[in-house]
Amino acid sequence: MENIEQRVKKIVAEQLGVNEAEVKNESSFVDDLGADSLDTVELVMALEEEFECEIPDEDAEKITSVQQAIDYVSAHLNK
Amino acid sequence: MSLQGKVALVTGASRGIGAAIAEQLAAEGAIVIGTATSESGAAAIGERLVAQGGAGRVLNVTEEGAIDALIESVEKEFGPIAVLVNNAGITRDTLLMRMKDEDWDAIMDTNLKSVFKASKAVLRSMMKARFGRIINIASVVGVTGNPGQTNYAAAKAGIIGFTKSMAREVGSRNITVNCVAPGFIDTDMTRALPETQREALVQQIALGRLGEAKDIADAVVFLASDRANYVTGQTLHINGGMLMP
Protein backbone atom coordinates (compact mmCIF):
# COMPACT_ATOMS: atom_id res chain seq x y z
CA MET A 1 0.00 0.00 0.00
CA GLU A 2 1.37 3.38 -0.99
CA ASN A 3 1.36 6.04 1.64
CA ILE A 4 -0.95 9.01 1.59
CA GLU A 5 1.67 11.35 0.20
CA GLN A 6 2.33 9.14 -2.81
CA ARG A 7 -1.34 8.57 -3.47
CA VAL A 8 -2.11 12.30 -3.31
CA LYS A 9 0.76 13.12 -5.65
CA LYS A 10 -0.31 10.48 -8.11
CA ILE A 11 -3.85 11.89 -8.23
CA VAL A 12 -2.58 15.44 -8.61
CA ALA A 13 -0.36 14.38 -11.50
CA GLU A 14 -3.20 12.50 -13.20
CA GLN A 15 -5.81 15.20 -12.75
CA LEU A 16 -3.63 18.11 -13.79
CA GLY A 17 -1.83 16.24 -16.54
CA VAL A 18 1.64 16.91 -15.18
CA ASN A 19 4.62 14.69 -14.57
CA GLU A 20 4.67 13.12 -11.13
CA ALA A 21 8.24 14.41 -10.69
CA GLU A 22 6.96 17.97 -11.00
CA VAL A 23 4.55 17.49 -8.12
CA LYS A 24 6.40 18.72 -5.04
CA ASN A 25 4.94 18.99 -1.56
CA GLU A 26 5.11 22.76 -1.72
CA SER A 27 3.59 22.97 -5.22
CA SER A 28 0.55 25.19 -5.49
CA PHE A 29 -2.07 23.75 -7.83
CA VAL A 30 -2.80 27.03 -9.54
CA ASP A 31 0.53 28.86 -9.40
CA ASP A 32 2.96 25.97 -9.94
CA LEU A 33 0.97 23.26 -11.67
CA GLY A 34 -1.19 25.37 -13.97
CA ALA A 35 -4.58 24.35 -12.63
CA ASP A 36 -7.65 26.44 -13.36
CA SER A 37 -10.60 26.76 -11.00
CA LEU A 38 -12.44 23.83 -12.55
CA ASP A 39 -9.32 21.67 -12.25
CA THR A 40 -9.18 22.31 -8.52
CA VAL A 41 -12.83 21.29 -8.14
CA GLU A 42 -12.15 18.09 -10.08
CA LEU A 43 -9.06 17.44 -8.03
CA VAL A 44 -11.05 17.56 -4.82
CA MET A 45 -13.60 15.20 -6.38
CA ALA A 46 -10.82 12.78 -7.25
CA LEU A 47 -9.41 12.98 -3.72
CA GLU A 48 -12.86 12.28 -2.31
CA GLU A 49 -13.10 9.17 -4.43
CA GLU A 50 -9.59 7.91 -3.76
CA PHE A 51 -9.89 8.31 -0.01
CA GLU A 52 -13.62 7.59 0.23
CA CYS A 53 -14.42 10.70 2.15
CA GLU A 54 -16.46 13.83 1.63
CA ILE A 55 -14.65 17.12 1.63
CA PRO A 56 -17.02 20.01 2.44
CA ASP A 57 -16.79 23.04 0.15
CA GLU A 58 -15.47 25.27 2.92
CA ASP A 59 -12.58 22.87 3.48
CA ALA A 60 -12.03 22.28 -0.23
CA GLU A 61 -11.41 25.99 -0.75
CA LYS A 62 -8.46 25.85 1.64
CA ILE A 63 -6.73 23.02 -0.17
CA THR A 64 -4.57 24.90 -2.63
CA SER A 65 -1.28 23.02 -2.48
CA VAL A 66 -0.07 19.44 -2.49
CA GLN A 67 0.99 19.64 1.16
CA GLN A 68 -2.41 20.99 2.17
CA ALA A 69 -4.08 18.08 0.42
CA ILE A 70 -1.79 15.60 2.15
CA ASP A 71 -2.41 17.24 5.51
CA TYR A 72 -6.16 17.29 5.01
CA VAL A 73 -6.37 13.67 4.00
CA SER A 74 -4.03 12.56 6.80
CA ALA A 75 -6.04 14.43 9.41
CA HIS A 76 -9.39 13.13 8.22
CA LEU A 77 -8.49 9.54 7.47
CA ASN A 78 -7.27 8.84 10.98
CA LYS A 79 -10.51 9.86 12.58
CA MET B 1 -27.28 10.48 -35.48
CA SER B 2 -26.95 7.40 -33.35
CA LEU B 3 -27.11 7.75 -29.59
CA GLN B 4 -26.60 4.03 -29.15
CA GLY B 5 -26.24 3.02 -25.51
CA LYS B 6 -26.06 6.56 -24.14
CA VAL B 7 -28.08 7.15 -20.97
CA ALA B 8 -30.46 10.08 -21.34
CA LEU B 9 -32.65 11.65 -18.67
CA VAL B 10 -35.70 13.64 -19.75
CA THR B 11 -37.73 15.48 -17.12
CA GLY B 12 -41.45 15.99 -17.65
CA ALA B 13 -41.73 13.19 -20.19
CA SER B 14 -45.30 12.05 -19.69
CA ARG B 15 -46.84 14.14 -22.44
CA GLY B 16 -46.34 16.92 -24.95
CA ILE B 17 -42.84 17.95 -25.92
CA GLY B 18 -41.14 15.85 -23.23
CA ALA B 19 -42.87 12.66 -24.38
CA ALA B 20 -41.80 13.31 -27.98
CA ILE B 21 -38.21 14.01 -26.90
CA ALA B 22 -38.03 10.78 -24.90
CA GLU B 23 -39.46 8.82 -27.82
CA GLN B 24 -37.07 10.29 -30.39
CA LEU B 25 -33.99 9.83 -28.21
CA ALA B 26 -34.98 6.20 -27.66
CA ALA B 27 -35.53 5.77 -31.42
CA GLU B 28 -31.89 6.83 -31.90
CA GLY B 29 -30.77 4.11 -29.52
CA ALA B 30 -30.45 6.01 -26.25
CA ILE B 31 -31.42 4.41 -22.96
CA VAL B 32 -34.00 6.96 -21.91
CA ILE B 33 -35.27 7.56 -18.42
CA GLY B 34 -38.32 9.80 -18.46
CA THR B 35 -39.83 11.40 -15.39
CA ALA B 36 -43.40 12.28 -14.45
CA THR B 37 -44.91 13.73 -11.30
CA SER B 38 -47.35 10.83 -10.80
CA GLU B 39 -46.92 7.08 -10.39
CA SER B 40 -49.33 6.41 -13.24
CA GLY B 41 -47.49 8.86 -15.50
CA ALA B 42 -44.15 7.23 -14.72
CA ALA B 43 -45.61 3.79 -15.37
CA ALA B 44 -46.92 4.90 -18.77
CA ILE B 45 -43.53 6.34 -19.69
CA GLY B 46 -41.88 3.10 -18.61
CA GLU B 47 -44.15 1.10 -20.92
CA ARG B 48 -43.15 3.25 -23.89
CA LEU B 49 -39.41 3.15 -23.15
CA VAL B 50 -38.78 -0.29 -21.73
CA ALA B 51 -38.30 -1.93 -25.14
CA GLN B 52 -35.21 0.25 -25.69
CA GLY B 53 -33.91 -0.40 -22.19
CA GLY B 54 -35.32 2.77 -20.66
CA ALA B 55 -37.69 3.42 -17.79
CA GLY B 56 -40.16 5.83 -16.24
CA ARG B 57 -39.55 7.38 -12.83
CA VAL B 58 -41.52 9.59 -10.48
CA LEU B 59 -39.99 13.01 -9.95
CA ASN B 60 -41.41 16.16 -8.48
CA VAL B 61 -38.66 18.64 -9.37
CA THR B 62 -39.72 21.02 -6.60
CA GLU B 63 -39.44 18.45 -3.82
CA GLU B 64 -36.38 19.00 -1.64
CA GLY B 65 -33.64 16.52 -2.48
CA ALA B 66 -35.74 14.68 -5.08
CA ILE B 67 -33.62 15.56 -8.12
CA ASP B 68 -30.34 14.56 -6.44
CA ALA B 69 -31.84 11.29 -5.24
CA LEU B 70 -33.29 10.42 -8.63
CA ILE B 71 -30.08 11.13 -10.52
CA GLU B 72 -28.06 9.11 -8.05
CA SER B 73 -30.37 6.13 -8.37
CA VAL B 74 -30.55 6.36 -12.17
CA GLU B 75 -26.75 6.46 -12.46
CA LYS B 76 -26.45 3.50 -10.13
CA GLU B 77 -28.92 1.47 -12.14
CA PHE B 78 -28.23 2.54 -15.73
CA GLY B 79 -24.75 4.11 -15.63
CA PRO B 80 -23.54 7.69 -15.98
CA ILE B 81 -25.99 10.11 -17.60
CA ALA B 82 -24.61 11.39 -20.91
CA VAL B 83 -27.60 13.44 -22.01
CA LEU B 84 -29.80 15.55 -19.74
CA VAL B 85 -32.90 17.20 -21.13
CA ASN B 86 -34.41 19.71 -18.72
CA ASN B 87 -37.92 19.86 -20.05
CA ALA B 88 -40.24 19.86 -17.04
CA GLY B 89 -42.24 23.07 -16.92
CA ILE B 90 -45.56 24.56 -15.97
CA THR B 91 -47.47 27.79 -16.58
CA ARG B 92 -49.32 30.01 -14.13
CA ASP B 93 -50.45 32.72 -16.51
CA THR B 94 -51.94 35.90 -15.19
CA LEU B 95 -51.41 39.62 -15.57
CA LEU B 96 -48.69 41.00 -13.36
CA MET B 97 -51.15 43.14 -11.45
CA ARG B 98 -52.96 40.00 -10.40
CA MET B 99 -49.95 37.74 -9.99
CA LYS B 100 -49.56 36.24 -6.54
CA ASP B 101 -46.23 35.41 -4.95
CA GLU B 102 -47.05 31.74 -5.21
CA ASP B 103 -47.63 32.05 -8.98
CA TRP B 104 -44.16 33.50 -9.30
CA ASP B 105 -42.48 31.06 -6.94
CA ALA B 106 -44.12 27.98 -8.48
CA ILE B 107 -42.78 28.91 -11.91
CA MET B 108 -39.29 29.74 -10.64
CA ASP B 109 -39.04 26.49 -8.68
CA THR B 110 -40.41 24.19 -11.35
CA ASN B 111 -39.06 25.84 -14.49
CA LEU B 112 -35.76 27.41 -13.41
CA LYS B 113 -34.45 26.04 -10.13
CA SER B 114 -34.96 22.50 -11.40
CA VAL B 115 -32.58 23.24 -14.28
CA PHE B 116 -29.90 24.36 -11.83
CA LYS B 117 -30.41 21.34 -9.58
CA ALA B 118 -30.44 18.70 -12.30
CA SER B 119 -27.55 20.20 -14.28
CA LYS B 120 -25.41 20.36 -11.16
CA ALA B 121 -26.28 16.80 -10.19
CA VAL B 122 -25.21 15.27 -13.52
CA LEU B 123 -22.04 17.33 -13.77
CA ARG B 124 -19.80 15.10 -11.68
CA SER B 125 -20.15 12.08 -13.94
CA MET B 126 -20.07 14.21 -17.09
CA MET B 127 -16.80 15.86 -16.01
CA LYS B 128 -15.31 12.46 -15.32
CA ALA B 129 -16.48 11.12 -18.66
CA ARG B 130 -15.20 14.20 -20.48
CA PHE B 131 -18.51 14.13 -22.31
CA GLY B 132 -21.95 15.49 -21.67
CA ARG B 133 -24.93 17.03 -23.39
CA ILE B 134 -27.28 19.25 -21.46
CA ILE B 135 -30.28 20.50 -23.40
CA ASN B 136 -32.63 22.93 -21.74
CA ILE B 137 -36.09 23.58 -23.08
CA ALA B 138 -36.60 27.34 -23.03
CA SER B 139 -39.31 29.19 -24.95
CA VAL B 140 -39.73 31.85 -27.59
CA VAL B 141 -41.48 33.79 -24.84
CA GLY B 142 -38.20 34.00 -22.93
CA VAL B 143 -36.87 36.12 -25.79
CA THR B 144 -39.93 38.06 -26.96
CA GLY B 145 -41.93 38.39 -23.74
CA ASN B 146 -45.66 37.77 -23.60
CA PRO B 147 -48.41 39.55 -21.67
CA GLY B 148 -49.73 37.34 -18.88
CA GLN B 149 -46.47 35.43 -18.65
CA THR B 150 -44.06 37.65 -16.74
CA ASN B 151 -43.21 34.71 -14.48
CA TYR B 152 -42.88 32.15 -17.27
CA ALA B 153 -40.91 34.49 -19.54
CA ALA B 154 -38.55 35.41 -16.70
CA ALA B 155 -37.86 31.75 -15.94
CA LYS B 156 -37.31 30.89 -19.60
CA ALA B 157 -34.99 33.85 -20.13
CA GLY B 158 -33.24 32.74 -16.95
CA ILE B 159 -32.67 29.32 -18.49
CA ILE B 160 -31.02 30.92 -21.51
CA GLY B 161 -28.62 32.93 -19.32
CA PHE B 162 -27.89 29.88 -17.19
CA THR B 163 -27.14 27.88 -20.33
CA LYS B 164 -24.62 30.40 -21.64
CA SER B 165 -22.79 30.66 -18.32
CA MET B 166 -22.66 26.93 -17.77
CA ALA B 167 -21.48 26.38 -21.35
CA ARG B 168 -18.52 28.65 -20.60
CA GLU B 169 -17.76 26.88 -17.33
CA VAL B 170 -17.68 23.32 -18.60
CA GLY B 171 -16.78 23.64 -22.26
CA SER B 172 -13.19 22.64 -21.57
CA ARG B 173 -14.49 19.25 -20.41
CA ASN B 174 -16.30 18.56 -23.67
CA ILE B 175 -19.69 19.15 -22.11
CA THR B 176 -22.06 21.18 -24.26
CA VAL B 177 -25.01 23.10 -22.87
CA ASN B 178 -27.68 24.41 -25.21
CA CYS B 179 -31.28 25.54 -25.28
CA VAL B 180 -34.09 24.69 -27.60
CA ALA B 181 -36.68 27.46 -27.65
CA PRO B 182 -40.00 26.18 -28.95
CA GLY B 183 -42.45 28.59 -30.50
CA PHE B 184 -46.13 27.80 -30.58
CA ILE B 185 -46.36 24.01 -30.38
CA ASP B 186 -49.59 22.03 -30.41
CA THR B 187 -49.63 20.58 -26.88
CA ASP B 188 -51.96 20.53 -23.88
CA MET B 189 -50.22 23.69 -22.66
CA THR B 190 -51.17 25.70 -25.76
CA ARG B 191 -54.56 23.97 -26.15
CA ALA B 192 -55.48 25.64 -22.89
CA LEU B 193 -55.40 29.03 -24.66
CA PRO B 194 -58.65 30.57 -25.95
CA GLU B 195 -59.35 29.93 -29.66
CA THR B 196 -59.13 33.63 -30.58
CA GLN B 197 -55.69 33.87 -29.02
CA ARG B 198 -54.54 30.75 -30.85
CA GLU B 199 -55.70 32.21 -34.17
CA ALA B 200 -53.98 35.50 -33.51
CA LEU B 201 -50.76 33.67 -32.70
CA VAL B 202 -50.84 31.61 -35.89
CA GLN B 203 -51.00 34.87 -37.86
CA GLN B 204 -47.50 35.67 -36.64
CA ILE B 205 -45.97 32.38 -37.76
CA ALA B 206 -44.24 32.46 -41.16
CA LEU B 207 -45.08 28.82 -41.81
CA GLY B 208 -48.71 29.57 -40.96
CA ARG B 209 -49.24 26.66 -38.60
CA LEU B 210 -48.48 25.41 -35.14
CA GLY B 211 -45.44 23.25 -34.58
CA GLU B 212 -45.57 19.66 -33.46
CA ALA B 213 -43.84 18.19 -30.44
CA LYS B 214 -41.74 16.10 -32.82
CA ASP B 215 -40.29 19.27 -34.37
CA ILE B 216 -38.79 20.12 -30.98
CA ALA B 217 -37.67 16.54 -30.39
CA ASP B 218 -35.76 16.56 -33.69
CA ALA B 219 -33.79 19.62 -32.55
CA VAL B 220 -33.03 17.97 -29.22
CA VAL B 221 -31.81 14.80 -30.95
CA PHE B 222 -29.53 16.93 -33.11
CA LEU B 223 -28.03 18.71 -30.10
CA ALA B 224 -27.56 15.39 -28.30
CA SER B 225 -25.86 13.78 -31.29
CA ASP B 226 -22.27 14.04 -32.46
CA ARG B 227 -23.49 16.22 -35.34
CA ALA B 228 -23.61 19.02 -32.78
CA ASN B 229 -20.14 18.50 -31.33
CA TYR B 230 -19.15 22.13 -31.87
CA VAL B 231 -22.41 23.73 -30.74
CA THR B 232 -22.58 25.11 -27.21
CA GLY B 233 -24.19 27.99 -25.37
CA GLN B 234 -26.71 28.40 -28.16
CA THR B 235 -30.45 28.75 -28.25
CA LEU B 236 -31.95 26.91 -31.18
CA HIS B 237 -35.25 28.54 -32.11
CA ILE B 238 -37.83 26.10 -33.44
CA ASN B 239 -40.81 28.31 -34.08
CA GLY B 240 -41.86 28.19 -37.73
CA GLY B 241 -40.50 31.69 -38.24
CA MET B 242 -42.57 33.23 -35.46
CA LEU B 243 -39.44 34.98 -34.23
CA MET B 244 -36.22 35.51 -36.15
CA PRO B 245 -33.78 36.81 -33.56
3-state secondary structure of B136: strand
Q: Which of B124, B128, B172 sits opposite A38 (nearest CB)?
A: B172
Closest-CA distance of chain B to residue A20, Å: 20
ipTM over 0.85: no
Whether the predicted pLDDT of A79 surpasses 60: no
Chain A CB contacts of B124 below 8 Å: 45
B169 interfaces chain A, CB cutoff of 8 Å? yes
Give the pLDDT confidence score for residue B192 in this predicted structure. Answer: 83
Q: How is B74-122 classified by DSSP, letter by letter?
A: HHHHH--EEEEEE---------GGG--HHHHHHHIIIIIIHHHHHHHHH
One pLDDT digit (tens) per residue for chain B, 245 residues: 689 999 999 999 999 999 999 999 999 999 999 999 999 999 999 999 999 999 999 999 999 999 999 999 999 999 999 999 999 999 999 999 999 999 999 999 999 999 999 999 999 999 999 999 999 999 999 999 999 999 999 999 999 999 999 999 999 999 999 999 999 999 888 888 888 888 888 999 999 999 999 999 999 999 999 999 999 999 999 999 999 99
Residues of A annotated as catalytic are 36
Nearest CA in chain A to B130: A42
Sheet holding B31-36, edge to edge: B55-58, B31-36, B7-10, B81-86, B132-137, B175-182, B235-238
B172 interfaces chain A, CB cutoff of 8 Å? yes
Q: How far apart are CA A23 and CA A28, in angstroms?
A: 9
Count how many residues are written for chain A: 79
Of the candidates B92, B112, B140, B128, the one whose C-alpha atom is nearest the C-alpha of residue B244 is B140
- Residues of chain A in Cβ contact (below 8 Å) with chain B: 36, 38, 42, 45
Q: How far apart are CA B133 and CA A58, in angstroms?
A: 29
Residue-wise pLDDT for A4-51, tens only, equals 999 999 999 999 999 999 999 999 999 999 999 899 999 999 999 999
The secondary structure of chain B in percent helix, strand, coil, rounded to multiples of 5, reads 50, 15, 30
Closest-CA distance of chain B to residue A48, Å: 12
The band of A78, judged by pLDDT with boundaries at 50, 70 and 90, is low
Q: What is the 3-state secondary structure (H, E, C) of B208-234?
A: CCCECHHHHHHHHHHHHCHHHCCCCCC
Q: Which of B124, B128, B169 sits opposite A38 (nearest CB)?
A: B169
Q: Please indicate, yes or no, whether the overall pTM of this predicted structure exceeds 0.80.
A: yes
